[in-house]
Amino acid sequence: MLTTNELRWFYPGTIPEDIEFWFQQNCLIDQMRSPQEREDRYLYTPECDYLGIKLRQGRFEVKWRKAELGVLSFGEFVEGKAEKWGKWLCDDPTKESFQLAQISDSSSWVNVQKVRYSQPYQVLSNLSVQAVAANEHIANGCNVEITQLIIQEHTWWSLALEAFGEDARLMDNLRTTASWVFNTYQGAKLLAANSYAYPHCLSLVYR
């Protein structure tokens, strides 16, 4: 099981140009790197914000919210609800299971198209932060991502941080990276009211 401490924000519409420019200029090592594109399917679980189930590129993933960690603030522009999540991954080497064709006719599964920029950061023992390559193995760190979403033809965008590593350091990894990243942020305010995980976002689209 992978355990992460996370901050996420969701907003309807396309990514504001100033926020996308800020992310590319201040967060990415390679500012010219193309974003990752993929399609995930989420199982819609109404009134169940603590559970996320999805099919992703032939893999079955389950996320369970282990704790709500309160509201964190970073300067005058950013506040968000921190949450602790556990993730289980299941692969089928035969490629016979977890295929999108198996659920194509089910209205319970929600199609989510993603165009995402992601940047991992390493958090050192002295709580300094440095951006690293995506394929570099690090023990303690945090992924920062900005994503354009199409959820069943509805356009949304998201900004997120996922801290990983030793359990005792998860909150430090999240706080330290967020403080580093948002030190240069001057876009529209990111509010706690818009801070939640994918299960709640799906419920807003389908309410």
Residue-wise pLDDT tens digits, 115-174: 999 999 999 988 889 999 888 889 999 999 999 999 988 999 999 999 999 999 999 999
Residue 1 near residue 89 (C-beta atoms within 8 A) = no
**Partners of 126 in the β-ladder:** none
Residue 74 neighbours by CB under 8 Å, 6+ apart: 178, 179, 182, 185
Which of 141, 144, 139, 138 is closest to 129 using CA atoms? 141
**How many angstroms separate the CA atoms of 155 and 132, rounded?**
30
Task: Write the CA distances from 66 to 2, 171, 172, integer angstroms.
Answer: 12, 14, 17
What is this structure's pTM? 0.92
- Dihedral sign computed on CA atoms, order 182, 186, 187, 189: positive
Q: Using one digit for the tens of pLDDT, what is the confidence trace for 1-24?
A: 899 999 999 999 999 999 999 999
Rounded to whole angstroms, how far apart are CA atoms 206 and 47? 11
Structure tokens at 61: 């993933």
Which of the two residues, 202 and 94, has the higher pLDDT score? Answer: 202
